[in-house]
């Protein structure tokens, strides 16, 4: 029996004792039973010793998978299953480490091994093979490996000072600095596209697009949302609005998906320039990069640029209203604090309050399958 099961077993036994004492006629016996039941619940609900260790050493499994993406392991195995020796040669792996490394990926469920031949798990094969561009999410992991993994290692410093550890000390300049290096801009926006493709499909399929003619995604990165929404709704014209540095990257992405006729890139700074008029605006994972003042400024700009029957869609890994369940939302907020000067994530309730203040009338919160939430606001 594993340690986790042993602790659950212990909790069960305590419960049984508590139930026995409850049958006792005396009040003292019943009080005792209540206390025991509370202890049993605490054991069962909180993390077990094994779970604490697993979480604290989670960085080992994280880095094992991120290195596999960095080494193109899943892409190589997607083209052809290979033995340990073939993989050593193909990826330049040292024989001292290769067996334990590859078998760790087997134990983590990412690879399968039969008769000494390694192949990808089917889901891994679909989403981590870089040649399957439509499904590939490895761009996000490449960015995590190159940038986020190191930056988040400095979390304690941010917790004590409130200051970012990424080097982006000013919220007005954060993205300009990020895009100074073209390769970095490409890595970041590829990461965003990978993270957002699933959400983009949900938005494209679930929103009432038939009631509108145009959509503008503000802070669109490569343009995953406008391209996907336009692909699935043939009557729509879509605009990807982002900083001018992203023009070549975004236009290349739009062209590759064959959407130049209905999706265009509009270069601009959402805090300096007027937004182009559109029926629907999207703000995806952008509000959390900024402090409250700029969050509201962005929402207000979309309000002013839409007609009276326009709508705004806000999505991201929002924190649940009770602030105890959406661990991805809470962790993303902490990451944003390490990465940016004033950014933080927020609950749908907070977002609703800002939207009402600005003048939006009907506001609806829609759960997207997975850790993301979408807030839909009608003018």
Ligand X SMILES: C[S@@+](CC[C@H](N)C(=O)[O-])C[C@H]1O[C@@H](n2cnc3c(N)ncnc32)[C@H](O)[C@@H]1O
Residue with Cβ nearer ligand X (262 or 285): 285
Task: Decide if 94 is catalytic.
Answer: no
Q: Which stretch binds ligand X (CB under 6 A): 117-125, 215-223, 342-350, 368-376?
A: 215-223
Q: Site residues for ligand X, window 262-321 (CB under 6 A)? A: 269-271, 284-286, 289
Query: Which is catalytic among the residues 94, 266, 278, 288?
Result: 288
Exactly one of 139, 164, 219, 226 binds ligand X (CB under 6 A); that residue is 219
Q: At 37, list the tokens.
A: 């039941």
CA 368 to chain centre: 12
Residue nearest to ligand X (CB): 219
Q: Return all residues near 351 (Cβ < 8 A) that are at least 6 apart.
A: 287, 314, 318, 375
Q: How far apart are CA 200 and CA 63, in angstroms?
A: 28
**Of 346, 349, 327, 325, nearest in space to 337 by CA:** 346
* Shortest Å, Cβ 336 to ligand X: 9
**Of 254, 243, 253, 256, nearest in space to 289 by CA:** 243
CB atoms < 10 A from the CB of 156, how many? 10
Q: Site residues for ligand X, window 159-188 (CB under 6 A)? A: 175
Exactly one of 187, 243, 254, 259 binds ligand X (CB under 6 A); that residue is 243
Q: At 22, list the tokens.
A: 């409850």
Residue with Cβ nearer ligand X (125 or 242): 242
* Shortest Å, Cβ 11 to ligand X: 41
Residue 59 within binding range of ligand X, rule CB under 6 A:
no
Exactly one of 78, 82, 221, 236 binds ligand X (CB under 6 A); that residue is 221
* Shortest Å, Cβ 265 to ligand X: 11
Q: How far apart are CA 161 and CA 287, in angstroms?
A: 22
- Size of interface with ligand X, in residues (CB under 6 A): 18
Residue with Cβ nearer ligand X (195 or 351): 195
Q: Which stretch binds ligand X (CB under 6 A): 48-56, 159-167, 241-249, 351-359?
A: 241-249
Could you tell me where the DSSP H helices lie in the chain? Answer: 3-22, 27-45, 49-56, 58-70, 73-79, 84-91, 95-107, 122-127, 138-143, 149-152, 155-161, 174-178, 182-206, 224-232, 247-256, 292-305, 327-339, 348-358
* Shortest Å, Cβ 369 to ligand X: 16
Q: Which active-site residues does the annotation give?
A: 288
Interface with ligand X (CB under 6 A): 175, 192, 195-196, 219-221, 224, 242-243, 246, 269-271, 284-286, 289
């Amino acid at each position: 029996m594993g340690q986790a099961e042993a602790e659950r077993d212990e909790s069960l036994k305590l419960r049984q004792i508590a139930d026995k004492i409850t049958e006792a006629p005396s009040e003292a016996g019943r009080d005792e039973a209540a206390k025991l039941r509370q202890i049993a619940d605490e054991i069962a609900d909180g993390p077990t010793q094994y779970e604490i260790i697993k979480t604290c050493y989670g960085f080992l499994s994280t880095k094992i998978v991120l290195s596999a993406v960095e080494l193109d392991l899943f892409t190589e195995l997607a083209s052809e299953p290979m033995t340990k020796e073939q993989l050593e040669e193909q990826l330049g792996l040292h024989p001292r480490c290769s067996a334990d490394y590859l078998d760790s990926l087997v134990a983590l469920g990412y690879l399968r091994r039969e008769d000494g031949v390694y192949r990808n798990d089917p889901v891994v094969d679909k989403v981590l093979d870089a040649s399957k561009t439509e499904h590939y999410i490895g761009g996000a992991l490449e960015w995590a490996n190159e940038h986020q993994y190191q930056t988040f290692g400095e979390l304690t410093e941010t917790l004590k000072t409130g200051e970012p550890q990424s080097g982006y000390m000013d919220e007005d300049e954060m993205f300009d600095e990020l895009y100074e290096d073209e390769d970095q801009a490409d890595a970041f926006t590829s990461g965003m596209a990978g993270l957002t493709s699933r959400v983009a499909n949900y938005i494209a399929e679930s929103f009432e697009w038939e009631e509108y003619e145009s959509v503008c995604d503000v802070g669109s990165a490569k343009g995953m949302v406008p391209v996907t929404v336009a692909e699935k709704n043939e009557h729509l014209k879509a605009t990807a609005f982002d900083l001018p540095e992203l023009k070549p990257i975004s236009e290349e992405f739009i062209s590759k998906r064959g959407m130049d006729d209905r999706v265009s890139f509009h270069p601009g700074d959402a805090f300096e320039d007027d937004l182009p008029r559109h029926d629907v605006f999207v703000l995806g994972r952008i509000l959390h990069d900024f402090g409250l003042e700029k969050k509201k400024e962005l929402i207000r700009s979309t309000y002013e640029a839409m007609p009276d029957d326009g709508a705004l869609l806000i999505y991201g890994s929002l924190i649940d209203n009770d602030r105890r369940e959406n661990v991805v939302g809470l962790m993303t907020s902490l990451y944003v604090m390490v990465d940016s000067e004033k950014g933080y994530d927020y609950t749908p309730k907070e977002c609703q309050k800002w939207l009402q203040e600005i003048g939006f009338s009907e506001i609806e919160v829609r759960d997207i399958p997975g850790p993301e939430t979408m807030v839909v606001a009608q003018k």
